[in-house]
Chain A
Amino acid sequence: MTPIIEMQKVTKAYHGAPAIKDIDFDLRPGEIHALLGENGAGKSTLTKIMAGVVEPTDGRMLHRGQPVKFATPSQALQAGIAMVFQETSLVPSMTVAQNLYLGSESFLNRLRGIYISAQQFLQSLNFPVDPTATVGTLGTAKRQMVEIARAVKHNAEVIIFDEPTSSLTPEEKRHFFALMRRLKQRGVSIVFISHALEEALAHSDRITILRDGERVVTNDTATFDRDSVIRAMVGRSLSTEIYKARRTTNQLRQRGEKVLSVQDISMGNLVRNTSFSIYDGQITGVFGLIGSGRTETFKIVSGIYKRDFLRGGDVELRGRPVRYRVPAPAVKDGIVYVTEDRKTEGFFETMSIAENLHSGLLAAGLDKAAFVSRREMRALSAEWSGKLNIRAITDNAKVIELSGGNQQKVVIGKGLVQKPRIVIFDEPTRGVDVGAIAEIHHFINALADDGLAVVVVSSYLPEIMNLSDRILVCRQGRIVEELSPEDATEEKIMYAAVH
């Protein structure tokens, strides 16, 4: 069977440093091919070459046996290859329907017709998205749905999904995988990048694993299990390192002083009379499904959102009532929020690591000098790159050029230079590879061991159960349950989160 896409000895180098090197890859018609590897392994680069986003430095690509070279994504799209990006490429100021038809508009368009057609199309995919809604008003999950719908809409014979499920709820994920199976039945070939190894093992036909820009193995999915995948990805078994056995009472940290007391805070329908406390020297895990209000709750605490003006509840920091209207006073009071949406809120993408870290100092008012010292900035960068093991191709690399794991470390570093007393991590390992997960977990544990109050908000249960000294469960804008990791099970947590 002729592969629909074949890559032969493909190499792509940035600034002389190869992101991928001599990679051979083939995609068969009608197969779901999972592409796995740590962040920085070269998965995105390889797929971007397929989709015409970047051109290879060396090697060649065959499409149905014919050598091709795509200079632009639209050329790849014309050849039937579409890519759904991790960071959506939709136009926020346009409606969902307009985004779906972008690039394939007629000379004269009737808006009503576009909406009706988009509505029918979205319904056929089981995506509950309003075609008349402006994309900028949609949440991450719905934007992802529009992005997927757009790829399907172009009748692509190859669709590349880059982390398609990272922001979907379990229900939406089921819809997505059902859609993927339907596409496969129609003969569409799918390349599927995911950090959720279980998804790759459950839904793909073949798996290719990359490490440090080189292909380690390609084989049928049936020949892999979770451990063998991780071993191939990182060169050692990390499974037990990341998700250890359940901890006993003695292994849990004892709570220190109550540092933050939140009582009945409310914000519209998103956060409703939620109450909890945070203690020094402990990791408080907060679990909740998307839409449960967990992120909004902690954004209120850190001054990013404002609680209701009337009867909005109380927040006390070490017994002192606080009501932040902007994040700056919260940062000055030692509260740092590490965002879940690093690409939009976490860093300045065209600035270097050093500049980003230094911006954290400026935000906290810790650098009051009239002029910025480049030398100090570099020293700061060297210090935190060492502490957090941030790896970049060059010292002056822009943050956008880093892998997801390293970007996340920059965001964490930017918060930690502010010398916080309470650190709130929102989805700290979303879109981060297993190697970086282990490092980030290790770092979060070290912060709590140093006596800081740490909050980890996550929708990934093993992460919550492994990191937390106490687990809070959020549902419909409220903390409904507190569990101790020693007696918490995934079923108990999920029951509280759903019911």
Chain B
Amino acid sequence: MRLDSLLDYFRGQAVTIPPMDGALRPNTALDDGAAELLAAAAPDNLAAAGGQVLYSTGNDLLRLPAHGGGGPVAVARFDAPVSALACSPDGAIAVGLDDGRILLKGGALDGQVLAPVAFGGLACPTALAFADAGTLLVCQGSSTHRPSDWVVDLMGKNASGSVWRVDLAAGRASKLAGDLAFPYGVLANAPGGGIVVAESWRHRLVRIGAAGGATEPVLTKLPGYPARLAPTADGGAWLCLFAPRNRLIEFVLEEDAYRADMMREVERAHWIAPALASGAQFLEPLQCGGVKTMGIHKPWSPSRSYGLVVRLDRNLRPVASFHSRANGRRHGITSVAEGDGRVLVTSKGGNAILSLAVLA
């Protein structure tokens, strides 16, 4: 084994993708077991507080209908796509926009704008969470790309993300951690203390002390790219994985020259890269002929998109999972929230908001 660590220096350490088994065993719960609450164009950013659940679609912020039914209620419209959202216990809403601004609506600081300059330049708000009514945690996915350019950040193998604590009353932002590979989800007051951040490009969750400091991995080797986190009522957490890892993409990520050519010459939608939805166009990259047999899309075929929500226990270990497999349609799960007696998820790739059958 000692020899291997020496040999790995020359032969390159194998990049491996952990299998989806154990608590992550594939099923069709998102396709067959989840009720579609409503159809929406690329819904994202679920946030629950005070008995109401908010979500965004494009530039719009909306409130989900309550149990009784009815349609969604418009809350606000912005001049840029909404990229992050959080609700505070006192009713304030923090909205991150694709251009880097963070706006506050409602509560004591209604109308306050946190400008990108507060975060050391161009900002990329990917996730927000209130630690308390006066403190906002901000995930900046990248220092060079906007949230909607996440695929460029991944294929550029960037690790310029950071996590910030913002004292809203004082208008002061302090950096808790830097050099993160696209932090895409944050859990304030996490089980075990501190805050937990989903570091997407490194396929892991890391813990950061409430006052900052070194990051400590708490859940590593995930089989996909983690996105938003949300607390559960029993002290655990929900985790979304917005796209799967696969061998072809891992290979492309290792081939720098090929990747540079691909990014320069091929349209972004057709890159060999993870996606929120796939299979819509014949121009998309496929992995040989292993996807369909006799017209049937094989659920285990390599896929650029996937739907996966994982339930974590108090130790942040996976205990259950909900999947939409390669042949499913509810892919690109970007956010989850437990509220109003339901567990809701947004399938950004599947254009739907779903209610999971877990709390009934």
Contacts and interface: CB of A to CB of B under 8 A. Distances in A.
A132 interface: no
A313 B14 contact: yes
Contacts of A499: 293-294, 296, 298
B12 interface: yes
Contact of B17 (A264, A277, A481): A264
Contacts of A263: 16-19
A312 interface: yes
Contacts of B247: 264, 273
A76 interface: no
A202 interface: no
B16 A482 contact: no
Given A309-B11, A321-B4, A482 B26 contact: yes
Interface string A251-283: 000010010011110000000010111010000
B171 to A, nearest CB: 46
Contacts of A309: 11
B18 A310 contact: no
Nearest to B4: A323
Given A273-B247, A499-B298, A311 B12 contact: yes
A153 B293 CA distance: 40
Contacts of B21: 276-277, 470, 482
A258 B300 CA distance: 22
A479 B17 CA distance: 13
**B18, B20, B247 pick with most chain A CB within 10 angstroms:** B18
Interface string A41-67: 000000000000000000000000000
B18 A275 contact: yes
Given A264-B247, A323-B1, A480-B300, A311 B14 contact: yes
A263 B15 CA distance: 9
B268 interface: no
A496 interface: yes
B22 interface: yes
A219 B11 CA distance: 66
B14 A496 contact: no
A79 interface: no
A314 interface: yes
A322 B296 contact: no
Given A499-B293, A499-B296, A310 B19 contact: no
Contact of A277 (B16, B19, B293, B296): B19
B157 interface: no
A291 B125 CA distance: 50
A481 B26 CA distance: 8
Contacts of B18: 261, 263, 275
**A258, A275, A321 pick with most chain B CB within 10 angstroms:** A275
B172 interface: no
A480 B293 CA distance: 14
Nearest to B254: A311
B14 A277 contact: no
Interface in A479-496: 479-482, 484, 496
Given A322-B1, A323-B1, A482-B26, A276 B19 contact: yes
Contact of A314 (B11, B14, B26): B14
Interface string B38-51: 00000000000000
A352 to B, nearest CB: 37
Contacts of A276: 19, 21
B300 A496 contact: yes
Interface in B283-340: 293-294, 296, 298-300
Contacts of A258: 22
The main secondary structure of chain B at its interface with chain A is loop
Contacts of A322: 1
Contacts of B296: 499
B12 A313 contact: no
B25 interface: yes
A484 B22 CA distance: 11
B293 A264 contact: no
Interface string B1-40: 1001000000110111111111001100000000000000
A323 B11 CA distance: 15
Nearest to B299: A481
A470 B21 CA distance: 10
B11 A275 contact: no
A192 to B, nearest CB: 35
Given A258-B22, A263-B18, A275-B19, A321 B12 contact: no
Nearest to B7: A309
A322 B11 CA distance: 17
Contacts of B4: 321, 323
Nearest to B11: A310
**A310, A311, A312, A313 pick with most chain B CB within 10 angstroms:** A311
B336 to A, nearest CB: 24
Nearest to B25: A482
A279 B15 CA distance: 23
**A312, A470, A482 pick with most chain B CB within 10 angstroms:** A482
Interface string A306-327: 0001111110000001110000
B287 to A, nearest CB: 11
Contacts of A321: 1, 4
Interface in B246-286: 247
B16 A313 contact: yes
Contacts of B298: 480, 499
A139 B158 CA distance: 49
Contacts of B22: 255, 258, 277, 279
B16 A264 contact: yes
A277 B19 CA distance: 7
A424 B154 CA distance: 40
B19 A312 contact: no
Contacts of A470: 21, 25
B14 A264 contact: yes
A243 to B, nearest CB: 25
**B1, B17, B298, B300 pick with most chain A CB within 10 angstroms:** B300
A288 B300 CA distance: 15
Nearest to B26: A482
Nearest to B251: A311
B213 to A, nearest CB: 26
Interface in B101-160: none
A166 B4 CA distance: 40
A232 to B, nearest CB: 42
Interface in A333-360: none
8 contacts: A263-B18, A264-B247, A275-B19, A276-B21, A309-B11, A481-B299, A482-B21, A482-B26
Q: Which 5 A-B pairs have CB atoms at the shortest separation, nearest pair first? A: A263-B16, A275-B19, A264-B16, A499-B293, A480-B300
Interface of B: 1, 4, 11-12, 14-22, 25-26, 247, 293-294, 296, 298-300
Given A263-B16, A482-B25, 13 more contacts: A263-B19, A264-B15, A264-B247, A279-B22, A309-B11, A311-B12, A312-B14, A314-B14, A321-B4, A470-B25, A482-B20, A499-B296, A499-B298
